Structure 1
Amino acid sequence: MANHIQSLEGLEALLKDKIKGQSGNIVINLIGIPKISRSNDIIGNCLQEWLPEWFQDNGLNLEPNPETQAFPDFIAHFDNHEEMVDIKCWNYLNNPAFDIANFDSFYNVLYNNPAKLFAKYLTIGYTPQKHGFTIDYVGLKKLWDITGPSRKRPLNIQVKRQRPYAIRPISFARHPNTSFNSPDELIQAVVETRKLFPNDEIKYSEADWFNKLSLTLEHYRHKM
């Protein structure tokens, strides 16, 4: 029977009730010979494809982001409001290493649409097993809950060819005290990271970016 989900918190509760602790498997059948896949990439990708459909089966109106190259991936529609949400899965035996967003894209998107700072993340940790996998972690997180500094930089990012590439999560499930404590800390870290990697193609200064995000932040604090 479908549930009438009215918030992302309600969706998180449903996941913890119905999915956490459960086992699954992904079978590849070729020439009539089935084999169970234990590949991390395959498990994670299949979960991220299966979960949105299951959410819709349970009464959630989940719309893919029409801006396919921008975060977050989905817009969840409820009776009296809508929320932006991403779904991220990772091997719970390891630190999460999924991409949150491309750094330059993230920087530009937030400047043009600061409300996206308040997108939420449904994070699912799975553990590969001999005959499939188990779901061992479920958490609904804010952006600053899953991001934090690295040992080298104000923001944990992947760097390629001496340029910032992807924003990566910290180990938020096992070490939540390493994350940022507020959106203010996050935007300050983004600005400090931008200063380490200047981009001449960006037409506004770091101060302009920070001031715009700071002003917008005041209008959205009630959503935190």
Structure 2
Amino acid sequence: MKLSGKELHNKLVNEYKIIGEKGIINFSLKDLTISIETKDTVGNLLQEWLKAWLIKESVEFEENANSQVFPDFYLDKYDKKLGLLEVKSFDWDRGPGFDLANFDSYCNSLLTSAYRLNSDYLIFAYQMKGSELTIKDVWIKKIWELACSSSTYPLKVQEKKNVIYNIRPSTWYSEKTKFKPFSSLEEFLSALNETRYQYPQTRHGNGHWLQNVLKNYEEHTGVRLQVR
């Protein structure tokens, strides 16, 4: 069964009804089983669970052979420019603390693989009490529906000692959040480009970056974006 990201989300949430379900995290070695109450492994476990669920539901997919490289899954096994799916998770009580992408790697990848802009992010929010995990919500989003601006740069990033490392998400599900997600892909690209201009390490080489990304995007998708 071939599904898009949105169709997968619909199947998981509305058909399988994953929201509100509970799980227990245990570890067994020889004759000793322990309950795992730390949250360090939850993200990896949810991704492994999703993989098993996709197989069980006969959903077509291919796992990325390199777990350190984007994306986690290809929902289109025959066209690796389509159906790119990244899986993220976060503790509901603490809010989204994951990275959307490494800043430099993402910017560089868009010069040759701008179709990556259309990737889907499947996001699990969980709550843990002891070793019991509850799924609080699940979303399917594009990167511009997760990213936002900030008081420092036009794009919210993780910065340490004046070095930008990662693109960080907004609190997209909250009405109270100060910085709302971008409303379009074009708005996201504009903020990314402007951040590159303001960031000293990318400022001088940024002259044609946006133009080249837009050209590559059109070559891959046939869509011409208008970004100011």
Same fold at TM > 0.5: yes
8 Å CA contact 2:26–2:131 kept in 1: the answer is no
Q: CA deviation at 1:67?
A: 6.1
8 Å CA contact 2:214–2:224 kept in 1: the answer is no
* Structure 1 residue identity aligned to 2:148: G
* Structure 2 residue identity aligned to 1:9: K
Q: Distance in 1 between matches of 2:107 and 2:23?
A: 37
The root-mean-square deviation of aligned C-alpha atoms, in Å, is 2.7
TM norm structure 1: 0.85
| Number of residue-to-residue matches in the alignment | 217
Query: Cα distance 1:60–1:188, how it changes in 2: closer, same or farther (>3 A)?
Result: same
Q: Distance in 2 between matches of 1:211 and 1:221?
A: 11
Q: Which runs of 4+ in 1 moved over 6 A?
A: 78-81
1:39-72 alpha-carbon deviations (Å, 9 max, x no partner): 2222222112221221122122222335654422
Once the two structures are overlaid, the 10-residue window that deviates more, 121-130 or 189-198, is: 189-198
| Structure-1 residue corresponding to 2:58 | 59
Q: CA deviation at 1:206?
A: 2.1
Q: How does 1:203-214 map to 2 (within 5 A)?
A: 205-214=205-214
Query: Cα distance 1:80–1:186, how it changes in 2: closer, same or farther (>3 A)?
Result: closer
Residue in structure 1 matching 2:186, options 155, 161, 184? 184
Q: How does 1:69-148 map to 2 (within 5 A)?
A: 69-77=68-76, 82-148=82-148
Residue in structure 2 matching 1:198, options 182, 197, 200? 200
Once the two structures are overlaid, the 10-residue window that deviates more, 117-126 or 190-199, is: 190-199
* Structure 2 residue identity aligned to 1:155: L
Q: How does 1:18-57 map to 2 (within 5 A)?
A: 18=16, 19-30=18-29, 32-57=31-56
* Structure 2 residue identity aligned to 1:183: L
TM norm structure 2: 0.83
8 Å CA contact 2:61–2:77 kept in 1: the answer is no
Query: Cα distance 1:32–1:46, how it changes in 2: closer, same or farther (>3 A)?
Result: same
1:68-104 alpha-carbon deviations (Å, 9 max, x no partner): 5442222112799941110111111122011111100
Q: Distance in 2 between matches of 1:61 and 1:89?
A: 22
Q: How does 1:159-174 map to 2 (within 5 A)?
A: 159-174=159-174
* Structure 1 residue identity aligned to 2:201: N
Query: Cα distance 1:69–1:108, how it changes in 2: closer, same or farther (>3 A)?
Result: farther
1:114-139 alpha-carbon deviations (Å, 9 max, x no partner): 11011111111111123411111111
Q: Distance in 2 between matches of 1:188 and 1:15?
A: 33
Query: Cα distance 1:221–1:13, how it changes in 2: closer, same or farther (>3 A)?
Result: farther
In structure 1, stretches of 5+ residues that fail to align are none
- Percent identity over the alignment is 29
Q: Which has the higher helix share?
A: 1
8 Å CA contact 1:103–1:164 kept in 2: the answer is yes
8 Å CA contact 1:6–1:78 kept in 2: the answer is no
| Structure-1 residue corresponding to 2:5 | 8
In structure 2, stretches of 5+ residues that fail to align are none
* Structure 2 residue identity aligned to 1:148: C
